[in-house]
Amino acid sequence: MADYSKSWKEILDRFRIYVAVEKRLAENTVEAYMRDVERLATYCSALDRPIAPTRVTTQTINEFMAHLFDRGLEPRSQARILSSLRSLFGFMMLTDRIETSPIDDIESPKVGQHLPDVLTVAEVDSIIEAIDPTTKLGVRNRAIIEMMYSCGLRVTELVELRFEDIDFDENLVRVVGKGNKQRFVPLGVMARQRLEAYLTYRKQTEVADRKSASVVFLNRRGSKLTRVMIFTLVRQAVAAAGIDKTVSPHSFRHSFATHLLVGGADIRQVQVLLGHSDITTTEIYTHLDFDHLRRTVEDHLNI
């Protein structure tokens, strides 16, 4: 069994280098890929008759997916794991370790579309206003939520934002998204005001290390924020505002896109602003009830 574990480790180590260096995927994406493929490696290595990575068949994958189903894994998670495995076996074909992929004839589980709740502009404002503006962390947190909403940033894009990415002269923000793809989004008046208010305190923050020196948003110890920290501060602000919706950091990006389309923006413009490589990803927003959303937004804005 040790030999099989060793062969899996060799493949996975090389796969990690491939997705991180050659594919240039973000660190969080790489880790997600590795968690998924390691589940298959663990499964194959623990069988009564262990299976080497080059000996995995379609039947092996089907039995593995049945194993995940028995453990209660949701269809969305199953589909994600299959996607990661397609990348793994695609890499193995690319490097001549196998001739065909055992994933080719396997369909992903049907996953219903799920979008987070849409926040109205008034709800976004109330969440921001619920944060204490008299503290350094409060000023920072207001700027964070405003940037996620006004610029449609993903959590990773926010925590990785650097000073050189912000052009105050042109009121633009350069965003480095998935696969290191860059896009430029406008820096709105309110976002600029909240960001400048935070930067006054940021200049006084003692930076923990050289890597954090150019990072815009820091924690109280002077280091780069983590995704967990962003989720926590959002949850606290939503609770303080008394918003009775399921709200995550992604809700602000989702609301950003929705409000643009409700306001009449072209879907291709929204695609560019969100950094979607495929417009079909953006098109999920076209299935929303825009008449209802428009009335809701207008009611809160007193239009």
10-44 pLDDT, tens digit each: 999 999 999 999 888 888 889 999 999 999 999 99
114 noted as active-site residue: no
4 noted as active-site residue: no
Same domain, yes or no: 47 and 167: no
Query: Does the residue 184 lie in any domain?
Result: yes
Tell me the pLDDT tens digit for each residue of 131-179: 999 999 999 999 999 999 999 999 989 999 999 999 999 999 999 887 7
Share of the chain above pLDDT 90, in %: 53
| Claim: this prediction has a pTM higher than 0.85 | no
227 noted as active-site residue: no
The residue type of 80 is: R
149 noted as active-site residue: no
Query: Does the residue 260 lie in any domain?
Result: yes
Q: What are phi and psi of 137, to 5 degrees?
A: -65, -35
Beta strand pairing call for 166-167 and 182-186: unpaired
Task: List the one residue out of 115, 107, 15 whose CA is nearest residue 61.
Answer: 107
250 noted as active-site residue: yes
254 noted as active-site residue: no
Query: Does the residue 111 lie in any domain?
Result: no
Task: List the one residue out of 105, 146, 144 whose CA is nearest residue 125.
Answer: 146
Catalytic, out of 178, 227, 294, 300:
178
Same domain, yes or no: 163 and 263: yes
Output the pLDDT for position 39.
Answer: 94
- Provide the residue range defining the domain that includes 68: 2-94
Catalytic, out of 194, 253, 254, 259:
253
Catalytic, out of 80, 142, 154, 192:
154
